[in-house]
Amino acid sequence: MSVRFQEKSQRYLVRVDRKGAPRISRLFKTKAEADDFEHEYLISHGIIKAKGIDSRKLKDLIDLWYMYQGVNLSDGTRRKTKLLYMCAELKNPVAVRLTPEKFVQYRFEKTHSNDKVIAAKTFNNMHGYLNAVYNKLHKLKVISYPSPVADVDFIKVHERQLSYLSHVQINTLLNSISRCQNHSTWYVAQICLRTGARWSEAEQLKRKQLHDGRVTFEFTKSKKTRTIPLDADFFSTLEEFIGSKNPDDRIFDNCISSFRRAVYRTDLSFPKGQMTHILRHSFASHFIMNGGNILTLQRILGHSDITVTMRYAHLAQDHLKEAINFNPMVDEKKVA
């Protein structure tokens, strides 16, 4: 055998001395890496044939996945960028030879060993994207083998309560926004707070999407349109702002930078990554706290999976109220 473990270096030594190929010696951290190097080296010099082995690289699979599915996803381009980043870091292996061990080792390096570690939740997303590439191509029979990372457990992440703005904080924010030179900022923020829309959905609205006191959001993340009524007074004010725009004209100017400056003028502190999304969380949180139905909220927010909407369920007035009525200390009160 040409792969041996060295006690002194605690590495696996590959030593190839075969007729028809230059002699070579290399050290690797794992036996899987050593075996892969030896196998590919012998193939590259014609010592063995790759007959019956799918020699396509991981990048080839990513390109195929994007062509067959990714291009049709609302975030397909962003996913492909993340996948290609992983592919480069994994050194673009032969896709069929990626092993759970290699992937877990890579995960450790990205979440613990480097100066710039990736958050566990972020890596779980990347893990899911990679698994989806293999699963989709296997389902389409483009590849004949299952995902090598399917049995790798995701990192357990502590669930955090979603942040939202109180009425006082909302007023503070709106007062700051009212001083923005870009007047679109105030209306976009208002729509997000009144409908739970994502900032991009509100900012990109066209005149034809406002009708009969309602707003219809198109090209959403779920790819489904949703129509939500607006307060009559606000809708009237909004129509005055719009003026005589044509149906396909955009209503608002780009104003995300204006919104950020408005936030910085306040003493409000938003969680990382929730600069505008906190408006959507605030709508959903107040909706539930005011007695709104969780299924109605799902339709308003456009969630395809109710489990996503259930993140707000704990804010319901009667959420787990039985904990008060049926805990063992209730009997103690009766005795007293």
Catalytic residue among 198, 226, 281, 286: 198
145 counts as catalytic: no
160 part of the active site: no
| Active-site option among 12, 134, 187, 312 | 312
Contacts within 8 Å (CB) and 24+ apart, 303-311? 303/222, 304/222, 304/224, 309/284, 311/162
To the query of whether residue 277 is one of the catalytic residues in this protein, the response is yes
Among candidate residues 221, 224, 245, 321, the one labeled active-site is: 221
- Rounded CA separation 5/7 (Å): 6
* Spatial contact of 223 and 74, defined as CB atoms under 8 Å apart: yes
Catalytic residue among 45, 82, 303, 311: 303
Q: Angle 83-163-74 (CA atoms, 0-180°, nearest 5)?
A: 30
| Catalytic position from the list 97, 280, 281, 286 | 280
Catalytic: 158? no
Q: Are 277 and 263 in contact (CB under 8 A)?
A: no
Q: Which two tokens stand for residue 68?
A: 């067959």
Q: Is 221 a catalytic residue?
A: yes
Q: What is the DSSP string of 1-14?
A: --EEEETTTTEEEE
Task: Please check whether residue 137 is in contact with residue 88, taking contact to mean a CB–CB distance below 8 angstroms.
Answer: no
Catalytic position from the list 261, 277, 299, 311: 277
Is 280 one of the annotated active-site residues of the chain?
A: yes
**Catalytic (active-site) positions:** 198, 221, 277, 280, 303, 312
